[in-house]
Amino acid sequence: MTSTPLPTARSRAVSTTFVVLRVLVALMFVVASAGPKFFGEAYAVEIFTEIGAGQWFRYLIGFFELAGGIGLLVPGLVAPAAIGLVGLMVGAGSTQVVILDNPAFVITPIILGVLCGLIAWHHRADLRALRSR
């Protein structure tokens, strides 16, 4: 008979911390990032006008942010959603530096990308399970 060890107080604290982190990052992507893009907030429209790809691109990026934020809240999708958001933040940071020439604004995508990377790393076992299916 094999017994499963009970979670320690430290592992419960780490798990709780990552749940809170996931919820906060998800809210950031859904409410503060995708929302303004979908509702046509003036600054979002201006940024995508400067990028020059057209306003359809604003909706596409908003969709990816919304899907990623929701994915962070769905247990089986946390790791792939976090990895997708890391990629999105790499693109956002690159766009800030190369196209928009705003290197100071790269801080937010870096922070969010690192947080999503940590979330993906914490849920790496889920990726293995997905890969084995």
pLDDT digits (tens, 9 = 90+) for 61-71: 999 999 999 99
Amino acid identity for residue 31 in this structure = V
Please name which of 104, 94, 82, 80 lies closest in space to residue 23, comparing C-alpha atoms.
82
Q: What token pair was written down for 9?
A: 């107080």
Q: Helix, strand, or coil here: 4?
A: coil
Domain assignments of the chain as residue spans, ordered by start: 14-132
Please name which of 25, 105, 112 lies closest in space to residue 71, comparing C-alpha atoms.
25
Average pLDDT over residues 29-57: 97
Instruction: Judge if pTM exceeds 0.85.
Output: yes
What CA–CA distance (Å, rounded) separates 74 from 94? 28
